[in-house]
Amino acid sequence: MKKIGIGIMGLGVVGGGTYEIIRANREAIIASDGIAIEVKKVLELKAERMDKLNVPAAARTANLDDLLNDGEISIVVETMGGIEPAKSFILRAFAAGKSVVTANKELLAKHWAELEKAAKKNGVGLYFEASCVGGVPIIRALDLSMQANVIQQITGIINGTTNYILTKMTEDGSDYAAALKEAQNLGYAEANPAADVDGWDAVYKLSILSSIAFNTCVPLDRIYREGITRISAEDIAYAKEMGYRIKLLAIGKLNGKKVEAHVHPCLVPEEHPLAGVRNSYNAVYLTGDHVDDLMFYGKGAGAHPTGSAIVSDIVYCAGQKKHRYAFFKNDGKLDKGIKFVDDFASKYYINVTVLDKAGCLAKVAGVLGRCGVSLEQVLQKDAKGKDKAVVVYMTHESGEKAIARAVGIIDKLDVVERINNIIRVI
DSSP letter for each residue of 102-156? E--HHHHHHHHHHHHHHHHHTT--EE-GGGSSTTS-HHHIIIII-TTS-EEEEEE
Domain with CATH 3.30.360.10 in the chain: 138-299
pLDDT score for 119: 98
Classify each residue of 388-414 as buried b or exposed e, where b means 16 or more C-beta atoms within 10 Å of its C-beta: ebbbbbbbeebbbebbebbbeebeebe
**Catalytic residue from among 98, 168, 205, 253:** 205
Across residues 197-209, what is the average pLDDT?
98
Indicate left, alpha or beta for 407 from its phi (over 0: left) and psi (-120 to 50: alpha).
alpha
For the chain, percent of residues with pLDDT exceeding 70: 100
Domain with CATH 3.30.70.260 in the chain: 345-425
- What pLDDT digit, counting tens, does each position of 260-310 carry? 999 999 999 999 999 999 999 999 999 999 999 999 999 998 999 999 999
Q: Per-residue pLDDT for 63 more than 90?
A: yes
Which is nearest to 275 in space by CA: 227, 242, 308? 242
Return the CATH number of 2-131, one of 3.30.70.20, 3.40.50.720, 3.10.20.440, 3.90.1280.10.
Answer: 3.40.50.720
For the chain, percent of residues with pLDDT exceeding 90: 94
Could you confirm whether 205 is annotated as catalytic?
Answer: yes
pLDDT score for 186: 87
pLDDT score for 357: 85
- Yes or no: domain 345-425 corresponds to CATH 3.30.70.260: yes
CATH code, residues 138-299: 3.30.360.10
